[in-house]
Chain A
C-alpha cells in the first residue's frame, strides 16, 4: 500500500490516527458548522452536510467570524471535534481554535497536505514529532 510522509510544525501536541476529510474550502466556525454534530452548514461550502467528527480534518485554514474557537470548543465538549487538524494558513482563529479543541494539529508542511492527502486516506498524526503518515486508500 502506498504511503506518504509529511513533515510539519506542531501547533498542538499529541498523536491520533483516522480517516481523512479533505476540503479546499476554508472553514467558517460560527455560522459555518453545527458544533453539536460537527457538520459543515455553510451554504456554498463543498463539504456542506458532512461531519468532521472523528476525522482527520485537512483544510486550507479558517475564515469568518471570531466565534471560530468558541464553536470548535463546543464541538469538543459535545464529542464532535475532529481527531486532528492539518492546515496551511496560520491565523489567530485557527491557532486558538486548535488550542481549545485539544486535538493534535500541524501546519507549515514540507508538501501541500491538500495535494498529498485525499478524503478516505488513513492518516497517522504525530504532532509532537511533526510527522504525518498517510496510507492512500485503494481506488
Chain B
C-alpha cells in the first residue's frame, strides 16, 4: 500500500504507540483487501463497550482496565496501550444493556458498573455516546460523498444508499483504528465504480408498511447476496422507517451494503444513473409469490401461538414509530402472560418521555428501553419461549442467538399479540 507522509509518521510511532498500532492494523487490513491506499475520514461509528460477558471477563482479568479491552478488541494488540483521545468525530453504536432497565433485563450489577465505567472512559476519549444502531436517527447524518467508517450493517446500508455517503462495513477493530487515526482503506464503496447497481428488481406489487419493506429486503438480500440491487416500480415514496427496515433485512439475509431505489435514492435519479449505463447482470421480479416465500422464510421458527414476548425496535425505533405504537396501545393493557419491550436511541427516548409516549407504553404494561436490543444484549423477559417481532432482521437473528421461536408480522399484529397473548398474524 502507498502511504501518505502523515500515515507513515503515525506508522513510525511519531504520535505514540496506540496510533502506531492503529496504523499497523489499517495497513494489515488494507493489504488483506488489496487496497492501494487509505482515505481520510472524519466520521466513524463503532462499538467498543465491554458489557458482553466475554469482554467483561477480559476486563476483569486485566484489573478492570478498559485500555486493555480497547487495545485487544479495537486495535488487535495484546499489549495494553494507553489510549489517547480520538482524532475525528466518533460515535458509539449499540451497547449490551440498558442501564435503566437492568432489573427487567436480568443484568447483574457488575455489568451495569462496567457499562458506567465505559461511559466515563469513552466520554473522556471523546466518543459520542449515541448508543444506537441508528446514528442517523439522532444527528449523525453524513452528506453525499462523505467518506465514513461505520460499523453496523443496517446503518452502513442506510449511509450508502439513502444518504449517498460512502462507507464499507467496518468492524470493531477497523473502526477503533479509524477513530485514532482518521484513516480507513480506500476500497469498495469508497470508489465510484463500485457503487453502481448490479441487479434490477422490478416490483410487481405495492410494498406498504415497514414490515412489508422488511419482507422485500429479506427476499432481495437472499436473491442478490452482497451485490447491489436497484428497485424499480416503487409506488409511494418510502420514508425513513421503511428504508431502514428494508436495508436492515437485506443486509441480514444477504450482505447488501448498498442499494438504489430509482427516483428516490441520491445516486439513482434514473435507472441509467443507478446502473452507470451498464446492463444489469440479472433482472428479478418481486410479486405476490416472492413475498409469500419471504414471509414463510422469516416465519420459519414460529410454531406455538401463545406469545410471551413482543419486541419492537429493530433497528431502533424512530419517534414516529413510537408514536404509531402509542396510538395502537393507548388505553389498552398488555396480556398478563406477555411482555412488551420497545427499543429506541436514548436521545429519542428523551423526546418520548416529554411527549408522554413513555407513559402510554408503561401504563399499558410495556417498557421503552434504550442502548441495546434482545439479540445484541442477549436479554429477554424471563422464561421467554415465543417472541413476536415486526422486524425481519430480528426474526432472522433472535431464534439463532437466543433459541426462541419468533413470529414476524406487522407492528399492529405485534401489538395485538401483546394485548391478547396470542399470535393471530398472517400474510394479508
Contact = CB atoms under 8 A, between A and B. Distances in A.
B214 interface: no
A70 B255 contact: no
B25 interface: yes
Interface string A69-89: 110011001100000000001
Contact of B172 (A26, A69, A95): A69
Contacts of B301: 43
Interface stretch (A15-23, A59-67, A110-118, A130-138): A59-67
B346 interface: no
B214 to A, nearest CB: 16
B244 to A, nearest CB: 16
B32 A98 contact: yes
B425 interface: no
B255 A91 contact: yes
Contact of B226 (A9, A41, A61, A95): A61
Interface in B297-355: 297, 300-301
Contact of B171 (A44, A61, A93): A93
A99 interface: yes
A66 B225 contact: no
Interface of A: 9, 11-12, 26, 31-32, 35-36, 41-44, 61-70, 73-74, 77-78, 89-93, 95-100, 105
Nearest to B406: A43
B340 to A, nearest CB: 23
B376 to A, nearest CB: 8
Bin the interface of chain B by size.
35 or more
Contacts of B73: 70, 73
B171 A69 contact: yes
A95 B76 contact: no
A92 B226 contact: no
A42 B400 contact: yes
Interface of B: 25, 28-29, 32-34, 47, 54, 58, 72-73, 76, 150-153, 156, 168-174, 185, 187-188, 225-226, 251-252, 254-255, 297, 300-301, 375, 396-397, 399-401
A97 B171 contact: yes
Contacts of B33: 90, 92, 95
Given A31-B375, A92-B187, A64 B255 contact: yes
Contacts of A93: 169, 171, 255
Contacts of B150: 66
A67 B255 contact: no
Given A31-B396, A96-B170, 11 more contacts: A12-B28, A31-B400, A35-B54, A43-B301, A43-B399, A63-B254, A66-B169, A70-B73, A73-B173, A91-B255, A100-B76
A66 B153 contact: yes
B76 A99 contact: yes
B171 A92 contact: yes
13 contacts: A43-B301, A44-B297, A62-B255, A63-B226, A66-B151, A66-B156, A70-B73, A73-B172, A92-B33, A92-B169, A96-B171, A96-B173, A99-B28
Question: Which interface residue of A35, A41, A63 has the most chain B CB atoms within 10 A?
Answer: A63
B76 A41 contact: no
Nearest to A96: B171
Question: Which interface residue of A35, A44, A65 has the most chain B CB atoms within 10 A?
Answer: A65
A99 B172 contact: no
Given A11-B32, A78-B54, A100-B76, A91 B169 contact: yes
Contacts of A11: 32
Contacts of A97: 171
Contacts of B226: 61, 63, 89, 91
Contact of B168 (A41, A61, A92): A92
Contact of B34 (A35, A90, A99, A100): A90
B157 to A, nearest CB: 11
Contacts of A36: 54
Contacts of B173: 69-70, 73, 96, 99-100
